[in-house]
Structure 1
Amino acid sequence: MVREAVLLATLFLVYSAGRQLAARHSGSAFDHAHEVLSFQRWLHLPDEAAIQHWALQFPQLVQGANLYYASVHAPLTAAVLLWLSIWRPRAYAHVRWTMVSLTGLALIGHIAFPLAPPRMLPGFVDTGLRFGQSVYGPDQTGSAVNQFAAMPSLHVGWAALIALSMVLITRSRWRWLWLLHPIVTFGVVVVTANHYWLDGIVVLVLLAASLPFLLRPGLHADRPRTRNSVPPRRVLK
């Protein structure tokens, strides 16, 4: 467990340092934001601003989205990783290295393509600030967190990885409900104007590129057998 904690802490420190490096390019981050919006219009993707303005008619819905964005992402990811490390240690190793790969690829994107989130642009509302639930604060550049690392969205990426892992690793008939987590997360990051559609789409492509780490042989090695897997008794003649 100590080794795992050191590995995850190192990953977090490297990731944070890379995000701060990307934060130095705030000017290009806003240029990239307008490019992303133009490209999305060319793709005929739904208008995020229109979706957000519709959602703002229901304050409790938006407050719930803010809460989900701020309070579910990291705690749920950590809880699933902890559960896997205790009850499915071999599967945990697959998930861990998949997450390392996905996060590393995302960091390259954050450095190479700094991107201001929609909430910083005219026509969008920073729902966190409006309802007093912001995890960033009003200062765009002075925060300890790089706010120009919208592309790709690790909120969506980690949610999809956790959901896919639990569907593949566990046997419960309810395991398919895990797929609601990335779906809800994708909607949440759009409604709160923290990400664009493309941020989520790109991270899903990166996750697909990282799947060989997850799907290596041995993913189900420590999964309990079902009752039907017990060998039949021999009949004495």
Structure 2
Amino acid sequence: MDSPRGGVWRILREIGLLAVLFGVYNLGRLVSAEHAGSAYRHAGDLIGWEHAVGLPSEAAIQNQALQVPGLAHAANLFYASVHFPLTAVVLLWLMIRRPDAYGKARWALAGLTGLALIGHMFFPLAPPRMMPGWVDTGVQLGQSVYGADASEGVANQFAAMPSLHVGWAFLIAVVLIRISKSRWRWLWIAHPVLTFAVVVVTANHYWFDGLVAIALAIPLLVLFVPGAHRGTGDEIQRTERRPAVASSSSARTR
């Protein structure tokens, strides 16, 4: 068991590692932000691909959502305040309460973020809010985390493919479902579902952005988080020993 000082040091070390990974990711986003022309061209292509495969129009869905009072405001709030804070809280909880699962979840998240960085660099994509037919709900309601101009802020606004909002939400939901035995664990499915709905309603991502993120997350979960719901090896061994102990006791009784 770690000493209190050792536990604090481990938490600080992990926070530092995550901060470095986040810094490298943002540096890569800034490098890829120079390709505005190709980002808009890719957006036009992707909209055509979605139409070709029969996916429903995100613009039409957003238009219907905007008719519901307060829905866009709530979606903007969710987009701005849930994604990173909830992921950080889950990682911190795993680090303290389930360190065996934490390491696996951390590397799965890091792997997904690294793959997303590659996607952002080689396939810059203008999000729907920058395209004709959509409404930038963040700017319209004064809740934008990016700003009205693509050159504002430190974030790369052309980093739409894949959607890390959807990818991270899907990944942590699956991890928490797999490590938990509670019957309520399936409620975590609501997190990626709500996140996917929010990024469409706020015009921050297309369908393909979220679907690609999920497709990338699945093999990482298989690689880093196999059979997490079955418990640790010690738990399995204790379970397997019980019938043998019981049989031995019965034999002595006879």
Same fold (TM over 0.5): yes
Question: 1:27/1:212 Cα in 2 relative to 1: closer, same or farther (>3 Å)?
Answer: same
The residue number in structure 2 matching 1:102 is 112
* Unaligned runs of at least 5 residues, structure 1: none
Q: 1:1-237, aligned counterparts within 5 Å? A: 1-216=11-226, 220-221=231-232, 231=242, 234=249, 237=253
Q: Deviations over 1:183-224 (max 9, x none)?
A: 010010000000000000111111123123333477732897
8 A Cα contact 1:97 1:213, kept in partner: no
Paired with 1:76 and 1:222, the residues of 2 have a C-alpha distance of: 29
8 A Cα contact 1:124 1:193, kept in partner: yes
Q: Deviations over 1:114-157 (max 9, x none)?
A: 00000011110000111111111122113211100000000000
Give SS of 1:59's match: coil
8 A Cα contact 1:109 1:151, kept in partner: yes
Paired with 1:44 and 1:117, the residues of 2 have a C-alpha distance of: 20
8 A Cα contact 2:39 2:124, kept in partner: yes
How many residue pairs end up in the alignment? 235
Paired with 1:84 and 1:56, the residues of 2 have a C-alpha distance of: 37
Write the letter of the residue equivalent to 2:163: S
Paired with 1:165 and 1:57, the residues of 2 have a C-alpha distance of: 36
Percent of pairs identical after alignment? 55
Question: 1:45/1:229 Cα in 2 relative to 1: closer, same or farther (>3 Å)?
Answer: same
* Unaligned runs of at least 5 residues, structure 2: 1-10
- TM-score, scaled to structure 1: 0.93
8 A Cα contact 2:146 2:152, kept in partner: no
- TM-score, scaled to structure 2: 0.87
Paired with 2:241 and 2:197, the residues of 1 have a C-alpha distance of: 43
Range that drifts further, 145-154 or 2-11: 2-11
What is the CA-CA distance between 1:6 and the residue it aligns to?
1.9
What is the CA-CA distance between 1:173 and the residue it aligns to?
0.7
8 A Cα contact 1:99 1:158, kept in partner: yes
Paired with 1:22 and 1:33, the residues of 2 have a C-alpha distance of: 15
Write the letter of the residue equivalent to 2:133: G
8 A Cα contact 1:52 1:124, kept in partner: yes
What is the alpha-carbon root mean square deviation over aligned residues?
2.0
- Structure in which a larger fraction of residues adopt helix: 2
Write the letter of the residue equivalent to 2:73: Q
Rg larger in structure: 2
Relative contact order (C-alpha < 8 Å, sep 6+): which is higher?
1
Paired with 2:29 and 2:234, the residues of 1 have a C-alpha distance of: 37
The residue number in structure 1 matching 2:4 is none
Write the letter of the residue equivalent to 1:130: Q
Write the letter of the residue equivalent to 1:221: T
